[in-house]
Structure 1
Amino acid sequence: MAGHEILFVLLLWKILCNNGRNLTRRALMTRRRDRKRLFAALAVAAAVNAATTERMLGAYDRSQHWWERDVLQTFSDEKWMENFRMTKATFDYLCEKLQPRLSRRHTRFRIPVSVPKRVAVALWYLATGCDYRTLSNLFGVGKSSVCTFVHEVCKALVEVFKDRCIKLPKGDHLREVVSGFEEELNFPQCAGVIDGTHIPIIAPKEDHCDYFNRKGWHSVILQAVVDHSYRFLNINVGWAGSVHDARVLRNSTLFSMAEDGDLFPNDTRDILGTPVPLMLLGDPAYPLLPWLMKGYPESGQLTRDKRHFNYRLSRARIVVECAFGRLKGRWRCLLKRLDVDTSSVVNIVGAACILHNVCEMRGEDFDEGLMSHGDDLPAGPVANANHDTRPLEVREALTQLFAQQRNAAEGL
């Protein structure tokens, strides 16, 4: 309470005490009634406190006007795209889906911040990575409230959207992905591309050395599978930055599904007499497996056909680099050091991936000027401990197919 409100309560208390003595002497009042009067006085003081402000959590009138008048009433789609990385229609769609989880009760003592404003605070943070103080002044809410909104919205996005926005393709969706890779990137039987990227974080208090990556800073790893349209099909977030990509893969649910035969259906295609299964494409950091294809090791003595195979595979793999670039370009907090507890990083990165997919699925434009060209270095090659010869045969069959296609294009 403010100073004048405290004085008001004390004055009421004095009056009640005096009245209480008078009424006691006349035997017309009991102690219980005195207590009721005191509670009534406190309720009046609370009402005065609520009446002197029209907002919750320390908002300023100027900032309220900016949000309610400038943003909600005058922002064009271009302005929404520039500041929130999406159009107003997509923003409204998100608010509608998140309303049940983010809405708060309106009480006599507190007017809750609206769901659109909570979502807007979180989106602005994700899009810029600016500090809580700046967001507090911009939106007219307390710094602690900004922190609360960011984490609540990110958690709600993961809970509401993850299963519907980030999922491995099946049925018609799987056929669409495979056709997309073959028609647009000239790589058959590809159901996705896998890779990892580093997300900068502050050094954790515990085991901080584990998070210190090869580039000299602390990070967690985002492993992702991407389709031909730059959408995330599967993500795995949270492994410490010093861990090799192959180890992240082997400890993921994706690996378990693939080894159990549950990743893709047994939909092989005969290529030059070799049954070629549906598979993911990876870089040299990953092992060569029946469901995971990678290029020939760069020994300096590769034949022309093998170099051409590596070129075709690299050209198909470019979609995952573009997806990471678009992800970090939209949500630029991922380019800066996430100044949050390590336990909160998973939800923030997961929310950014979900929002990326929502924007891609709804056809939101992407400003190529925002594209982040990652500085991730390939995690060193990994020896292929798998003794299964099938992936070697598949790679050889694809190598011969690509060589025939190249020769036909050259008229040989």
Structure 2
Amino acid sequence: MATIDQMLQHHLNCSSTVDPPLLDHTDTCSPCQCRGFFATEHKELRLDDCRFQRYMRLTVSQFDDLLVRIGDRISRLDTNYRLSISAAERLSICLRYLATGDSFRTIANSFRVGVSTVSSIVPDVATAIWDCLVEEFMAVPTTEEWRAIAVQFEERWNFPLCCGALDGKHVVIKSPANSGSQYFNYKGTFSLVLLAVVDAQYCFRLIDVGGYGRTIDGGSLSNSAFGQALKSGTLQLPADLPLPGADHQGLQPHVFVADEAFPQRKNLMRPFPGRNLPRERRIFNYRLSRARLVVENAFGILSSQWRMYRRAIEVHPEVAEKCVKATCVLHNFLRKTTQTTVVSIPAGEVEPLPDLGRIAANNSAREAIRVREAFTSYFSAEGTVPWQDTV
């Protein structure tokens, strides 16, 4: 495996006094390329960790760590006709695209490489990031890990037996050629659907990317591997337990919390529909909404960190899917390699409850209704919190 210094010095050692050509840049390691960002500014940028992080979204140590993990996967061999672009520069090009969402031509002009080079580097490096990080930072949780997530949800968000918050995000893309209305969503844009399960610390535990924008969240769930595993009971969730201090209600299953766009199931909890609800149901909706905020916050952090989500992604849907998966696993990588403290939202800062007037078309099973009623009674009795009546 090449060392970090060897990777970084590949282009930094290049120098030339020849003026850059006026024509379009070639894919060779030309004098023009050696005057690009990586050759002229990257080394200096590494001396200021804050500036480096603003530019690459990773600290210098995180960048080096990631480079070691994927360096061999993205390295290319030199030939008699051209010098290869180093792994460090290839990673920088991909990270810069994910961090800004700029066009491939803008990235190419900055790094002094060809547009076709950028168009091949971005999906290759994004795929390598996903493949090399997913096992460590986004593996499917085991039974013990699901149990640990449930403990954290109870401690931080006062929702027991919760294994995660579920929601979908529309990732806006440029209208694909000959796609008809498949990607056209209810917001009037073209999009891919990112379906995600988030734990109590804002980390993505399971994701499904690539659903058509026209599909509603409930349909995306049914078509996803997570939805099928949840329905078939193969997620290896912990055994049923009584709610804390409510043994008289019997054993209850571990659940995921979601909004009203998803169906009510035994292991999937959605709010009560309607507005003029009884006190117990209003409290349940508040407690569920408070726990579900983690997935909304995670999407907000993701789009704030990786600005490609702030504009329409102008690449093929297959490439957009690779980039989305890369940013999600990088999100976890950053959160687990950065010393941060996650705290619960104080009562006075909880967002108002969403409009629950829309009723999703689903037939709730009796068991699913029973489980929700058990949680509803618990939140108004043994599981009450001091501020829930004032929100």
TM-score by length of 1: 0.79
SS state of the match for residue 203, structure 1?
coil
Confirm whether residue 295 of structure 1 aligns to residue 267 of structure 2.
no
Give the match for residue 256 of structure 1: 228
Q: 4+ residue runs of structure 1 moved beyond 6 angstroms?
A: 52-55, 376-379
Looking at structure 2, the residues matched to 379 and 182 of structure 1 have their Cα atoms a distance apart, in angstroms, of 28
Give the match for residue 49 of structure 1: none
Q: 1:313 aligns with which of 285, 288, 291?
A: 288
Give the match for residue 355 of structure 1: 330
Q: 1:64 aligns with which of 27, 35, 47?
A: 35
Percentage of matched positions with identical amino acids? 32
| C-alpha deviation, 1:305, in angstroms | 1.2
SS state of the match for residue 198, structure 1?
strand
Q: 1:124 aligns with which of 76, 90, 96?
A: 96
| C-alpha deviation, 1:343, in angstroms | 2.1
Q: CA 1:200–1:408 in 2, change beyond 3 Å: closer, same or farther?
A: closer
Which segment is superposed worse, 333-342 or 192-201? 333-342
Looking at structure 1, the residues matched to 312 and 386 of structure 2 have their Cα atoms a distance apart, in angstroms, of 48
Give the match for residue 6 of structure 1: none
| C-alpha deviation, 1:144, in angstroms | 1.3
Looking at structure 1, the residues matched to 19 and 339 of structure 2 have their Cα atoms a distance apart, in angstroms, of 39
Deviations 1:317-338 (A, max 9, x none): 0000010011111111122111
Q: CA 1:378–1:351 in 2, change beyond 3 Å: closer, same or farther?
A: farther
Matching residue's letter, 2:194: L
Matching residue's letter, 1:312: R
Q: CA 1:64–1:378 in 2, change beyond 3 Å: closer, same or farther?
A: farther
Q: 1:89 aligns with which of 37, 61, 70?
A: 61
Confirm whether residue 138 of structure 1 aligns to residue 110 of structure 2.
yes
Which segment is superposed worse, 177-186 or 143-152? 143-152
Looking at structure 1, the residues matched to 37 and 361 of structure 2 have their Cα atoms a distance apart, in angstroms, of 58
Looking at structure 2, the residues matched to 396 and 219 of structure 1 have their Cα atoms a distance apart, in angstroms, of 36
Indicate if the aligned counterparts of 2:147 and 2:238 stay in contact, CA closer than 8 A.
no
Deviations 1:294-337 (A, max 9, x none): 1111x223111110110000000000001001111111112211
Matching residue's letter, 2:39: E
Gap regions ≥5 residues in structure 2: 1-17, 21-25, 342-350
Indicate if the aligned counterparts of 1:192 and 1:281 stay in contact, CA closer than 8 A.
yes
Looking at structure 2, the residues matched to 140 and 153 of structure 1 have their Cα atoms a distance apart, in angstroms, of 18
Indicate if the aligned counterparts of 1:56 and 1:112 stay in contact, CA closer than 8 A.
no
Give the match for residue 37 of structure 1: none
Give the match for residue 285 of structure 1: 261
Q: CA 1:94–1:317 in 2, change beyond 3 Å: closer, same or farther?
A: same
Q: CA 1:60–1:309 in 2, change beyond 3 Å: closer, same or farther?
A: farther
Looking at structure 2, the residues matched to 207 and 245 of structure 1 have their Cα atoms a distance apart, in angstroms, of 20
Looking at structure 1, the residues matched to 303 and 100 of structure 2 have their Cα atoms a distance apart, in angstroms, of 10
Looking at structure 2, the residues matched to 319 and 251 of structure 1 have their Cα atoms a distance apart, in angstroms, of 23
Give the match for residue 170 of structure 1: 142
Looking at structure 2, the residues matched to 377 and 206 of structure 1 have their Cα atoms a distance apart, in angstroms, of 36
Confirm whether residue 234 of structure 1 aligns to residue 209 of structure 2.
no
SS state of the match for residue 182, structure 2?
helix
Looking at structure 2, the residues matched to 356 and 185 of structure 1 have their Cα atoms a distance apart, in angstroms, of 21
Looking at structure 1, the residues matched to 97 and 54 of structure 2 have their Cα atoms a distance apart, in angstroms, of 13
Larger fraction in helix: 1
Deviations 1:332-358 (A, max 9, x none): 112211111122221111111111111
Q: CA 1:407–1:162 in 2, change beyond 3 Å: closer, same or farther?
A: closer
SS state of the match for residue 208, structure 1?
coil
Matching residue's letter, 1:347: K
Looking at structure 1, the residues matched to 126 and 233 of structure 2 have their Cα atoms a distance apart, in angstroms, of 33
Confirm whether residue 381 of structure 1 aligns to residue 381 of structure 2.
no
TM-score by length of 2: 0.83
Q: 2:298 aligns with which of 286, 305, 323?
A: 323
| C-alpha deviation, 1:396, in angstroms | 1.4
Q: CA 1:243–1:66 in 2, change beyond 3 Å: closer, same or farther?
A: closer
Q: CA 1:84–1:379 in 2, change beyond 3 Å: closer, same or farther?
A: farther
Q: 2:381 aligns with which of 388, 400, 404?
A: 404
| C-alpha deviation, 1:248, in angstroms | 0.8
Confirm whether residue 243 of structure 1 aligns to residue 215 of structure 2.
yes
Q: 1:108 aligns with which of 80, 91, 97?
A: 80
| C-alpha deviation, 1:408, in angstroms | 7.3
Looking at structure 2, the residues matched to 378 and 150 of structure 1 have their Cα atoms a distance apart, in angstroms, of 41
Q: Give the number of aligned pairs.
A: 352
Question: How large is the Cα RMSD of the aligned pairs?
Answer: 2.9
Indicate if the aligned counterparts of 1:221 and 1:237 stay in contact, CA closer than 8 A.
yes
Looking at structure 1, the residues matched to 59 and 356 of structure 2 have their Cα atoms a distance apart, in angstroms, of 35
Give the match for residue 308 of structure 2: 333
Which segment is superposed worse, 148-157 or 66-75? 66-75
Q: CA 1:319–1:179 in 2, change beyond 3 Å: closer, same or farther?
A: same
Task: Please identify the structure whose Cα radius of gyration is greater.
Answer: 1
Matching residue's letter, 2:195: Q
